[in-house]
Amino acid sequence: MGEPAAPMMPRPSVPEADRLLGVKHPVLSHGYVVLVDYMGNDAAIVQAARVSYGAGTRSVRDDRGLIRYLLRHRHTTPFEMVEFKFLIRLPIYVARQIIRHRTASVNEHSARYSVMPDEFDLPPVEDVRRQSARNRQGRGEALPVEASEAFRTDLDRISREAYAAYERALESGVARETARLVLPLAYYTEWYWKVDLHNLLHFLSLRLDPHAQEETRRYAAEIARLVRVVCPVAYEAFEEFTLQGLTLARREQVALQALLAGRTPEAACAEAGLPLTREDGRPMQSGEGVEFLEKLERLRSGSGSGPTV
């Protein structure tokens, strides 16, 4: 037995997280998130960082301070030392968004190899809302209940008909890889999803954001709750500096200076070149000026600038 190459520490484990391993956390009508395994915790981040900063840093910064420093200054690789593996059951329309996060390793249920289960997502009536007037990608006001219910009835009927066609195709000998073409986006798939903490926090910053689709946000929120158990200090720093942090672009800083000098928000935006009205004089619904006013509102209301889970 030779000397250990680096200072050894016991294999990190978090008893609260160990108790959650294998537990199904329901999301949407038939989905769930399961923490299958994890490697590392807050201590693993600190251990990696102290290799680069060298001995003696302990006296300068405690572990919590070090993790917060690393996150604030985007010293990201120590966060890559922590890994998470999840089993996730999710509708295909949510999977299509989550698969875009290329830094995760994914192993998905094969609908070429196995028969797809008869499970589709049927959003509750309160989730079937009007197209947002401001956000072209999002939902807005409630619809009359009859309109929401009519959509749900159509979705339910079409999904059942599609599954019946899928079964007929399988029975008549059509290959599974071809028969699946009749199944709509609301059907569920399942995958293992493994990702390191750095890229997972990037995923959460995008998919917990109010601009992300609500259903995808619910998966992100469930994942975030599990991440917080494994790495409470890193997650707290992420909430503080990333989720709840506020960035100000150059023109926004000019507008803020004008505000501090006593100008109205509208005058400050005009001075900074942040547009609030169109050429025809109508107020803008979106854009840099509107987003700056939203930041001001968040500051005024004290609601923070990002979601918490």
| Residue found under tokens 């992300």 | 212
Q: What distance in Å separates the CA atoms of residue 175 and residue 177, rounded to the nearest whole number?
A: 5
Q: Can residue 263 be called a binding residue for ligand FAD (CB under 6 A)? A: no
CB of 238 to ligand FAD, least distance (A): 15
92 and 189 Cβ atoms separated by less than 8 Å: yes
Of 1-9, 69-77, 100-108, 243-251, which part binds ligand FAD (CB under 6 A)?
A: 100-108
Q: Does the protein bind ligand FAD through residue 94 (CB under 6 A)?
A: no
73 vs 102, beta carbon nearer ligand FAD: 102
Secondary structure string (H, E, C) spanning 181-236: HHCCCCEEEEEEEEEEHHHHHHHHHHHCCCCCCHHHHHHHHHHHHHHHHHCHHHHH
Rounded to the nearest whole angstrom, what is the least distance from the CB of residue 203 to ligand FAD in the complex? 6
| Residue 199 is a binding residue for ligand FAD (CB under 6 A) | yes
Neighbours of 58 (CB within 10 A): 12
Helix, strand, coil percent content, the chain, rounded in steps of 5: 50, 15, 35
Alpha carbon of 223 to those of 11, 29, 76, 84, 258: distances in Å? 23, 17, 20, 10, 41
Q: From the candidates 50, 68, 89, 207, give the one annotated as an active-site residue.
A: 207
Q: Which residue is nearest to ligand FAD (CB)?
A: 102
Q: Which of 212, 226, 272, 274 binds ligand FAD (CB under 6 A)?
A: 212
Closer residue to ligand FAD in complex, CB, 103/257:
103
Among 36, 206, 276, 290, binds ligand FAD (CB under 6 A): 206
Is residue 132 involved in binding ligand FAD (CB under 6 A)? Answer: no
Nearer to ligand FAD, 43 or 200 (CB): 200
Counting contacts by CB under 6 A, is residue 139 touching ligand FAD?
A: no
Q: Is 101 in the site for ligand FAD (CB under 6 A)?
A: yes
Residue whose C-alpha is closest to residue 84's, from 23, 49, 34, 15? 34
Nearest one of 137, 101, 77, 80 to 219, comparing CA atoms: 101
* Part in contact with ligand FAD (CB under 6 A); list of ranges 32-40, 101-109, 153-161, 274-282: 101-109
207 catalytic? Reply is yes
Q: Catalytic amino acids?
A: 207
Task: Please give the residue ranges that form the binding site for ligand FAD (CB under 6 A).
Answer: 100-103, 137, 199, 202, 206, 211-212
